[in-house]
Amino acid sequence: MDELQLKLCDIQGRLFELSGEQNLPSAAFIRAFMTSETARELDSRYNRAQWMGEEYLLEEVRTCHTDALNVQGETYPKDILYWIGYLYRYWHFYTGEDSAKIIRQAPVETMRRNYMMFHTMDPVVAIEDLKEIHEQE
Protein backbone atom coordinates (compact mmCIF):
# COMPACT_ATOMS: atom_id res chain seq x y z
CA MET A 1 0.00 0.00 0.00
CA ASP A 2 1.53 3.29 -1.04
CA GLU A 3 1.23 6.64 0.68
CA LEU A 4 -1.50 7.95 -1.64
CA GLN A 5 -3.62 4.84 -1.12
CA LEU A 6 -3.27 5.13 2.66
CA LYS A 7 -4.26 8.80 2.42
CA LEU A 8 -7.39 7.84 0.49
CA CYS A 9 -8.21 5.26 3.17
CA ASP A 10 -7.92 8.02 5.76
CA ILE A 11 -10.10 10.39 3.74
CA GLN A 12 -12.82 7.77 3.44
CA GLY A 13 -12.58 7.03 7.16
CA ARG A 14 -12.96 10.74 7.91
CA LEU A 15 -15.88 10.93 5.45
CA PHE A 16 -17.74 8.21 7.33
CA GLU A 17 -16.86 9.89 10.63
CA LEU A 18 -18.20 13.23 9.31
CA SER A 19 -21.49 11.56 8.37
CA GLY A 20 -21.86 10.67 12.05
CA GLU A 21 -21.01 14.19 13.18
CA GLN A 22 -23.88 15.36 10.97
CA ASN A 23 -26.19 12.76 12.55
CA LEU A 24 -26.89 10.89 9.33
CA PRO A 25 -28.27 7.38 9.81
CA SER A 26 -25.05 5.37 9.53
CA ALA A 27 -26.26 2.22 7.79
CA ALA A 28 -28.21 4.24 5.21
CA PHE A 29 -25.28 6.59 4.58
CA ILE A 30 -22.76 3.79 4.19
CA ARG A 31 -24.97 1.82 1.79
CA ALA A 32 -25.70 4.97 -0.23
CA PHE A 33 -22.03 5.90 -0.42
CA MET A 34 -20.69 2.45 -1.25
CA THR A 35 -23.08 2.10 -4.19
CA SER A 36 -22.73 5.73 -5.37
CA GLU A 37 -21.04 7.27 -8.35
CA THR A 38 -18.73 9.00 -5.86
CA ALA A 39 -17.47 5.62 -4.61
CA ARG A 40 -17.06 4.40 -8.20
CA GLU A 41 -14.95 7.47 -8.90
CA LEU A 42 -12.77 6.71 -5.88
CA ASP A 43 -12.45 3.11 -7.13
CA SER A 44 -11.05 4.26 -10.47
CA ARG A 45 -7.35 4.33 -11.12
CA TYR A 46 -7.31 8.13 -11.09
CA ASN A 47 -10.20 10.52 -10.65
CA ARG A 48 -10.67 14.06 -9.42
CA ALA A 49 -12.74 12.76 -6.50
CA GLN A 50 -9.57 11.28 -5.05
CA TRP A 51 -8.32 14.79 -4.33
CA MET A 52 -11.49 16.11 -2.71
CA GLY A 53 -11.81 16.42 1.01
CA GLU A 54 -14.35 14.55 3.05
CA GLU A 55 -16.64 17.59 3.30
CA TYR A 56 -17.01 17.81 -0.48
CA LEU A 57 -17.47 14.05 -0.83
CA LEU A 58 -20.18 14.08 1.83
CA GLU A 59 -22.01 16.90 0.06
CA GLU A 60 -21.90 14.94 -3.22
CA VAL A 61 -23.45 11.89 -1.56
CA ARG A 62 -26.07 13.97 0.27
CA THR A 63 -27.05 15.73 -2.96
CA CYS A 64 -27.38 12.53 -4.99
CA HIS A 65 -28.99 10.34 -2.30
CA THR A 66 -31.38 12.63 -0.47
CA ASP A 67 -34.18 10.04 -0.35
CA ALA A 68 -31.92 7.23 0.84
CA LEU A 69 -30.61 9.40 3.66
CA ASN A 70 -33.99 10.75 4.71
CA VAL A 71 -34.74 7.77 6.96
CA GLN A 72 -34.61 7.04 10.65
CA GLY A 73 -31.65 5.10 11.93
CA GLU A 74 -28.84 4.86 14.43
CA THR A 75 -25.78 7.05 14.09
CA TYR A 76 -22.74 4.95 14.95
CA PRO A 77 -19.89 6.19 17.16
CA LYS A 78 -17.02 7.98 15.42
CA ASP A 79 -14.49 5.19 15.95
CA ILE A 80 -16.73 2.59 14.33
CA LEU A 81 -17.54 4.85 11.39
CA TYR A 82 -13.88 5.70 10.79
CA TRP A 83 -12.86 2.04 10.89
CA ILE A 84 -15.59 0.95 8.49
CA GLY A 85 -14.74 3.70 6.01
CA TYR A 86 -11.01 3.10 6.26
CA LEU A 87 -11.31 -0.66 5.94
CA TYR A 88 -13.67 -0.56 2.95
CA ARG A 89 -11.22 1.66 1.02
CA TYR A 90 -8.25 -0.47 2.13
CA TRP A 91 -10.17 -3.54 0.91
CA HIS A 92 -10.52 -1.94 -2.51
CA PHE A 93 -6.78 -1.34 -2.78
CA TYR A 94 -5.93 -4.76 -1.37
CA THR A 95 -8.22 -6.77 -3.69
CA GLY A 96 -9.07 -4.42 -6.56
CA GLU A 97 -12.77 -5.07 -5.93
CA ASP A 98 -15.17 -2.18 -6.38
CA SER A 99 -17.06 -0.60 -3.49
CA ALA A 100 -20.44 -2.08 -4.47
CA LYS A 101 -18.99 -5.61 -4.46
CA ILE A 102 -17.23 -5.01 -1.15
CA ILE A 103 -20.39 -3.96 0.66
CA ARG A 104 -22.23 -7.02 -0.69
CA GLN A 105 -19.55 -9.21 0.90
CA ALA A 106 -19.38 -7.26 4.15
CA PRO A 107 -22.68 -5.44 4.70
CA VAL A 108 -22.86 -2.59 7.18
CA GLU A 109 -24.44 -4.83 9.81
CA THR A 110 -21.57 -7.33 9.53
CA MET A 111 -19.02 -4.55 9.91
CA ARG A 112 -20.84 -3.09 12.93
CA ARG A 113 -21.21 -6.50 14.57
CA ASN A 114 -17.54 -7.41 14.11
CA TYR A 115 -15.98 -4.06 14.93
CA MET A 116 -14.89 -4.95 18.48
CA MET A 117 -13.19 -8.12 17.32
CA PHE A 118 -11.60 -6.82 14.09
CA HIS A 119 -10.70 -3.16 14.61
CA THR A 120 -7.35 -3.92 16.22
CA MET A 121 -6.34 -6.45 13.57
CA ASP A 122 -4.10 -5.76 10.64
CA PRO A 123 -6.46 -4.64 7.84
CA VAL A 124 -5.47 -7.54 5.59
CA VAL A 125 -6.32 -10.08 8.32
CA ALA A 126 -9.65 -8.36 8.99
CA ILE A 127 -10.50 -8.35 5.28
CA GLU A 128 -9.64 -12.03 4.90
CA ASP A 129 -11.75 -12.87 7.95
CA LEU A 130 -14.68 -10.84 6.61
CA LYS A 131 -14.39 -12.61 3.26
CA GLU A 132 -14.45 -15.94 5.08
CA ILE A 133 -17.58 -14.92 7.02
CA HIS A 134 -19.23 -14.01 3.70
CA GLU A 135 -18.34 -17.37 2.14
CA GLN A 136 -19.84 -19.21 5.12
CA GLU A 137 -23.18 -17.41 4.83
pLDDT tens, residue by residue, 84-131: 999 999 999 999 999 999 999 999 999 999 999 999 999 999 999 999
| Structural element, H or E, at residue 77 | none
* Separation of alpha carbons 83 and 32, rounded Å: 17
Give 36's DSSP letter: S
User: What's the pLDDT score for residue 94?
Assistant: 97
- DSSP letters, 53-68, are -HHHHHHHHHHHTHHH
**Average of per-residue pLDDT values in the chain:** 92
* Separation of alpha carbons 45 and 58, rounded Å: 21
The answer to pTM > 0.85 is yes
